[in-house]
Amino acid sequence: MKIAVCVKQVPDTWAEKKLRDDDSTLDREAADGVMNELDEYAVEEALRLAEANGGEVVVVTMGPERAAETVRKALSMGADAGVHLVDDSLHGSDALATSYALAEVLAARNFDLVIFGSESTDARMSVVPAMVAERLGLPQVTFAQKVDVDGSKVAIQRQTEYGYDDVEAELPAVVSVVEKINEPRYPSFKGIMAAKKKPVETLTVADAGLDAAKLGATAAWTKVASFAARPPKAAGTVVTDEGDGGAKIATYLTEQKFV
């Protein structure tokens, strides 16, 4: 079985994120880049499926040069090979463009299963897996908290507000996972050393045969018109207790519609 995992490099979850003054896109240089946390679960699930069913795991990312670190992390965890789409013209791509680029790269490589995280921590649109599936004409079984592959079928438990749904699809298919699904492994020292020898294909837009007119900030369907920093926290309300503190707090909470 040939499994692809799509991973995105995002700014460190704890870092203060900011937008660039010149083009209002996320400033990716301002903070350390890390693998999108949910994508670690996606990598883990791919590795488990490959360990259980035999097969190969290829990690795919679209992102700036330093996103190569994220590819290497997935390889250190145990993935077999990497594909890194990197090109200045990709900068500012929206979700439609990202899904176009990823879909083309995936289509050219014939995977049985494509696994995504269900959401990135920086843009949090949670749409890329569905868009990619649509572009590839493949069934999408998303928000999986459990994945089983049996012959030519993939069966998942799709997390819902009330529990889960059992959903099945024929392979090839697109899956996205939620964090309940597993506990991602940490790259081991052995894994890190082995990753150095694993193949990573670095592709430009031209290498991947993509239409540059569909990519980047100019092709985006949406534009950030303006932005402002979050206003500083307003001073709190001080309630002085003169024997009636409890009542005052209750009144305040009612006024604010907290209770």
Partner 1 sequence: MSMDFSIPAELTELRGAFADFLEREVRPLEQEYTREYWGPSLDPEAATPLISQVRRRSADAGFYAPYLPEAAGGHGLSVLGTTLLVEDAAASGMRLAMVAVAPPNPAGPSTLLLKLPAHLWSTYVLPVATGHQTMCFALSEPEAGSDAQSIRTQAVLDGDEWVINGTKHYITNGADANFAIVFAVTDAQKRAAGGITAFVVPREQYRVGQIQYNMSDSHPAELFFDNARVPADHVIGEVGMGFLEAMSFLNAGRAYIGAQALGLAEFCLTSAAEHTRSRTAFGKPLAKFQGVSFPLARSKVDIEAMRWLVYHLAWRVDTHQDALAIMGDASITKYATTEWAYEVADRALQAYGGMGLMREGPIERVLRHLRMLRVVEGASEVQLLVIARTLGL
Ligand X SMILES: Cc1cc2nc3c(=O)[nH]c(=O)nc-3n(C[C@H](O)[C@H](O)[C@H](O)COP(=O)(O)OP(=O)(O)OC[C@H]3O[C@@H](n4cnc5c(N)ncnc54)[C@H](O)[C@@H]3O)c2cc1C
Task: Write out the residues near ligand X by the rule CB under 6 A.
Answer: 6-8, 26, 36, 38-39, 42, 60-63, 93-96, 98, 102, 116-117, 119-120, 122-129, 222
- Of 88, 125, 165, 188, which one interacts with partner 1 (CB under 8 A)? 188
Nearer to partner 1, 72 or 158 (CB): 72
Pairing of strands 81-85, 200-203: parallel
- Give CA–CA dist 97/217, Å, rounded: 9
- Give CA–CA dist 94/221, Å, rounded: 7
Nearer to partner 1, 28 or 73 (CB): 73
**Residues 3 and 43: beta-carbon distance below 8 Å:** no
Nearer to partner 1, 188 or 218 (CB): 188
CB of 246 to partner 1, least distance (A): 28
Best CA proximity match to 63, nearest among 11, 119, 133, 127: 11
Nearer to partner 1, 186 or 227 (CB): 186
- What is the pattern of x (binds partner 1, CB under 8 A) and - over residues 190-209? x-xx--x-------------
**Amino acid, single-letter form, for residue 128:** V
* Binding residues for partner 1 restricted to 67-86, rule: CB under 8 A: 72-73, 76
Which of ligand X, partner 1, none lies near 94, with the C-beta cut-off 5 to 8 A by kind? ligand X
The rounded radius of gyration (Å) of the Cα atoms in the chain is 22
First-last CA distance in the chain:
54
